[in-house]
Amino acid sequence: MSQILSVVLNIALAVHVALIAVCVWRVWRGENVIDRLIGADLVGTLMLAVLVLLALILVNATYIDVATGLAALGFVSTIALAKYIADQQMF
């Protein structure tokens, strides 16, 4: 059973890394600025998923701490960028 789990985890990791590549391509060739912002936010979320999968593969809970920090930073930075785009000023 644990062998199946290991195979499934590795496949999921590969799929998520491929999805990150697709999202980076969308940020590169976005239609407008909001489209690119959504792409950047999605890259952050998928990176979170990769960190959680690494915590599962390496059986090390420290990666969850890293993921928590990344989630908090990504939340603040996305909202700050959205406010900057809407108002053309930061504060």
- The two three-digit tokens of residue 11, written as one number: 């496949």
Distance CA 21, CA 87 (A): 30
Indicate whether 2 belongs to the interface with another protein (CB under 8 A): yes
Binds another protein (CB under 8 A): choice among 24, 28, 45, 73: 45
Check residue 73 for interaction with another protein (CB under 8 A). Answer: no
Taking the CB of residue 53, how many other CB atoms lie within 10 A of it? 19
Q: State yes or no: residue 90 binds another protein (CB under 8 A).
A: no
Chosen residue from 17, 24, 79, 90 binding another protein by CB under 8 A: 79
> Which C-beta is closer to another protein: that of 28 or that of 61?
61
Q: Quote the CA–CA distance of 16 and 68 in Å, as a whole number.
A: 18
CA dihedral 71, 27, 25, 30 (to 10 degrees): 150
CB atoms near residue 77 (< 10 Å): 13
- Which of the 8 DSSP states describes residue 66? H
For another protein, the binding residues (CB under 8 A) are 1-2, 4-5, 8-9, 11-12, 15-16, 19, 22-23, 26, 32, 34-35, 37-39, 41-42, 45-46, 48-49, 52-53, 55-56, 59-61, 64-65, 67-68, 71-72, 75, 78-79, 82-83, 85-87
